[in-house]
Structure 1
Amino acid sequence: MAAQFYPGKRLSFNSDLCTVRFVGSIQGVKGDWLGVEWDDPTRGKHDGSHNGVRYFECARKHPTTSSFVRPNRPFDPPLSYVQALKKKYASDSVDEPNLDIGVTGPVPANVPVNERGKVIKISGKEAEEVGFDKIRKKFANLQELRIAILDCLCMTRPLPALLEHAAADGKANITAADLTDVKDVSPKIYDLDLSRNLFEEWREVASISIQLEKLTQLRADGNRFRDIELDKSLSAAFTKVTSLSLEDTLFDWKQLALISSGFPSLKSLTATNNALSRCEGASLPATLTEIVLEKNEFQTLADLKALTELPNLKRLRLKNNSISKVDSQAPTASELPVFSQSLEDVDLAYNAIDNWRFIEALPDVFPGLRSLRISTNPLYENLRSANGRELSADDGYMLTMARLKGLESMNFSKISAKERLNAETYYLSQIGIELSSAPESQEEAILGSHRRYKELCDEYGEPAVERQETERIDPNSLAARLINFSFYAGESVKAKLADLGREAKEFSVELPRSFTVYSMLGVVGKQLGLPPLKLKLFCETGDVALSEQSSLGESGEWDSEEEEDGAEKGPAKREVEWVAGTKIVGTWVEGREARVRVETC
Structure 2
Amino acid sequence: MATEFYIGKRLSYDNQLCTVRYIGEVKGTKGEWLGVEWDDSIRGKHSGEHGGIKYFECLNKSTTSGSFIRPTRKPDLGRSFSEALKAKYAPDPVQDPSIHIVFATKPGDNALKKDPLARINQPIRISGKEVEEVGFDKIRKQLAQLSELKIVILDGLRMERSCARLREGMDEWERGLTDVQEACPKAIELDLSRNLFEEWREVASICEQLEKLKSLRVDGTRFRSTSITPAEHARCLAAFAHITDLKLEDTLLPWASLAALTHLFPALTAFSASSNLLTSLTPHALTPTLTSLTLEDNALPTLSSLAPLTTLPHLRRLILKSNKISAITASPSAAPPVFSKSLIEVDLTYNDISTWPFLSALPTTFPGLTSLRISHNPLYHHLQTPDGRPMTPEDGYMLTIARLACLTILNYSPITDKERLNAESYYLSLIAKELAYAPEADEAAILEGHPRWKELCDEYGEPVVARSKGGVNPNSLAARLVKLHVYLGGLGEERTTTLEIPARCTVYTLLGLVGRAFGVPPMRVRLVWETGDWVPAARADVGDAEGEESVDEEEGEAEGGRVGREVEILAGTRGVGTWVEGMEATIRVEMR
- 1:473, 1:347 → 2: CA distance? 36
Q: How does 1:201-280 map to 2 (within 5 A)?
A: 201-231=199-229, 232-233=231-232, 234-235=235-236, 236-280=238-282
Aligned residues: 471
Residues 380 and 160 (structure 1), Cα distance of their counterparts in 2 relative to 1, 3 Å cut: closer
The RMSD of aligned alpha carbons is 3.2
Q: Deviations over 1:330-374 (max 9, x none)?
A: 146xx2211111111111011011111100100011111111111
Residues 214 and 22 (structure 1), Cα distance of their counterparts in 2 relative to 1, 3 Å cut: same
Contact 2:294/2:319 (<8 A) preserved: yes
| Secondary structure, aligned partner of 2:361 | helix
Q: Which deviates further from its counterpart, 67-76 or 262-271?
A: 67-76
Q: Deviations over 1:475-527 (max 9, x none)?
A: 88887469xxxxxxxxxxxxxxxxxxxxxxxxxxxxx9879xxxxxxxxxxxx
Aligned equivalent of 2:470: 470
Q: From 323, 326, 329, give the equivalent of 1:327.
A: 329
- 2:132, 2:58 → 1: CA distance? 55
* TM-aligned CA deviation for residue 281 of structure 1: 1.9
Aligned equivalent of 1:192: 190
- 1:28, 1:274 → 2: CA distance? 35
* TM-score, normalised via structure 1 length: 0.73
* TM-aligned CA deviation for residue 395 of structure 1: 1.1
| Secondary structure, aligned partner of 2:265 | coil
Residues 107 and 392 (structure 1), Cα distance of their counterparts in 2 relative to 1, 3 Å cut: same
* TM-aligned CA deviation for residue 138 of structure 1: 2.0
Aligned equivalent of 1:180: 178
Aligned equivalent of 2:150: 146
Q: How does 1:51-66 map to 2 (within 5 A)?
A: 51-66=51-66
Aligned equivalent of 2:140: 136
Q: How does 1:159-558 map to 2 (within 5 A)?
A: 159=163, 175-231=173-229, 232-233=231-232, 234-235=235-236, 236-331=238-333, 335-470=335-470, 480=481
Is 2:162 aligned against 1:158?
A: yes
Residues 425 and 10 (structure 1), Cα distance of their counterparts in 2 relative to 1, 3 Å cut: same
- 1:198, 1:473 → 2: CA distance? 65
* TM-aligned CA deviation for residue 446 of structure 1: 1.4
Q: Deviations over 1:82-113 (max 9, x none)?
A: 00001111113369x9x986544575499999
Contact 1:473/1:480 (<8 A) preserved: no
Q: How does 1:21-40 map to 2 (within 5 A)?
A: 21-40=21-40
| Secondary structure, aligned partner of 1:372 | strand
Contact 2:439/2:470 (<8 A) preserved: no
Aligned equivalent of 2:521: none
* TM-aligned CA deviation for residue 129 of structure 1: 3.3
Larger radius of gyration, structure 1 or 2? 2
* TM-aligned CA deviation for residue 163 of structure 1: 9.8
Contact 2:372/2:407 (<8 A) preserved: yes
Contact 1:350/1:376 (<8 A) preserved: yes
* TM-aligned CA deviation for residue 327 of structure 1: 0.2
- 2:78, 2:181 → 1: CA distance? 21
Q: Deviations over 1:274-310 (max 9, x none)?
A: 0111122210011101111011111000000111111
- 1:241, 1:316 → 2: CA distance? 20
Aligned equivalent of 1:488: none
Which residue identity lines up with residue 84 of structure 1 in the other structure?
Answer: A
- 1:173, 1:446 → 2: CA distance? 66
Residues 399 and 248 (structure 1), Cα distance of their counterparts in 2 relative to 1, 3 Å cut: same
* TM-aligned CA deviation for residue 191 of structure 1: 0.3
Residues 341 and 115 (structure 1), Cα distance of their counterparts in 2 relative to 1, 3 Å cut: farther
* TM-aligned CA deviation for residue 26 of structure 1: 1.1
| Secondary structure, aligned partner of 1:24 | strand
- 2:281, 2:261 → 1: CA distance? 15
* TM-aligned CA deviation for residue 159 of structure 1: 2.1
* TM-aligned CA deviation for residue 45 of structure 1: 0.8
- 1:290, 1:481 → 2: CA distance? 60
Q: Deviations over 1:544-566 (max 9, x none)?
A: xxxxxxxxxxxxxxxxxxxxxxx
Q: Which deviates further from its counterpart, 426-435 or 68-77?
A: 68-77
Structure 2 gap ranges (5+)? 125-130, 484-501, 506-581, 584-592
* TM-score, normalised via structure 2 length: 0.74
- 1:251, 1:162 → 2: CA distance? 20
| Secondary structure, aligned partner of 1:29 | coil
Residues 478 and 424 (structure 1), Cα distance of their counterparts in 2 relative to 1, 3 Å cut: closer
Aligned equivalent of 1:47: 47
Residues 357 and 140 (structure 1), Cα distance of their counterparts in 2 relative to 1, 3 Å cut: same
Structure 1 gap ranges (5+)? 121-126, 165-171, 483-511, 516-590, 593-601
| Secondary structure, aligned partner of 1:400 | helix
